[in-house]
């Protein structure tokens, strides 16, 4: 017995992936912006994701409550240790997926777009395989 049914398990996993996707993309973005411009402000995130600053603000508040981000009113946004660890993991996974697509001969822009969505649905097992194939083709 594998659970409810065979058919439903992939969909339950996909829903779970989507539930954590925003957190993953935001900590990754905060880390990247801090690396590039020292500090990460709300406006940077709003531009980065092409959403209103209000939407970005609410998501930052949620992720702070979840212990991934840290910020004070009107201050820059920082990563907690937990957020930093998640950001590092996500950046690595993202890069592996991106470089794998490049290794297939996909152009950079298409690879960047596809990788942004695909990354959240790649299991650890599949990720190891992609990494191995990227290394071989490198």
Partner DNA sequence: ACAGAAGTTTAGCCTGTGCTACAATTTTGC
Partner DNA sequence: GCAAAATTGTAGCACAGGCTAAACTTCTGT
Residue 4 touches a copy of itself, criterion: CB under 8 A: yes
Shortest distance in whole angstroms from residue 89 CB to a copy of itself: 17
In the block, which residue shows the tokens 């957190």?
23
Q: What part of residues 9-38 is at the interface with a copy of itself (CB under 8 A)? A: 9-14, 17-18, 25
Residue 113 touches a copy of itself, criterion: CB under 8 A: yes
Residue 102 touches a copy of itself, criterion: CB under 8 A: no
> Which residues lie below 8 Å from residue 108, measured CB to CB, with a gap of 6+?
102
Which part of the chain contacts Mn ion (CB under 5 A), choosing from 19-27, 52-60, 62-70, 105-113?
19-27
Please state, in angstroms and rounded to a whole number, the distance separating the CA atoms of residues 85 and 90: 9
Residue 93 touches Mn ion, criterion: CB under 5 A: no
> Which residues lie below 8 Å from residue 67, measured CB to CB, with a gap of 6+?
80, 82, 83
Which position among 55, 92, 126, 137 is part of the footprint of a copy of itself (CB under 8 A)? Answer: 126
Yes or no: say if 33 and 45 are a contact pair by the CB < 8 Å rule. Answer: yes
């Amino acid at each position: 017995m594998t659970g409810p049914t065979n058919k439903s398990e992939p969909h339950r996993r996909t829903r779970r992936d989507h539930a954590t996707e925003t957190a993953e993309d935001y900590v990754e973005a905060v880390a990247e912006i801090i690396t590039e411009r020292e500090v990460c402000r709300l406006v940077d995130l709003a531009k980065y994701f092409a959403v209103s600053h209000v939407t970005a603000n609410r998501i930052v508040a949620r992720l702070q409550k979840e212990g991934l981000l840290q910020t004070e009113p009107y201050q820059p946004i920082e990563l907690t240790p937990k957020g930093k660890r998640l950001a590092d993991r996500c950046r690595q996974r993202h890069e592996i997926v991106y470089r794998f697509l490049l290794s297939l001969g996909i152009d950079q822009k298409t690879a960047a777009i596809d990788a942004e969505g695909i990354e959240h649905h790649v299991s650890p097992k599949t990720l190891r395989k992609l990494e191995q194939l990227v290394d071989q083709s490198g």
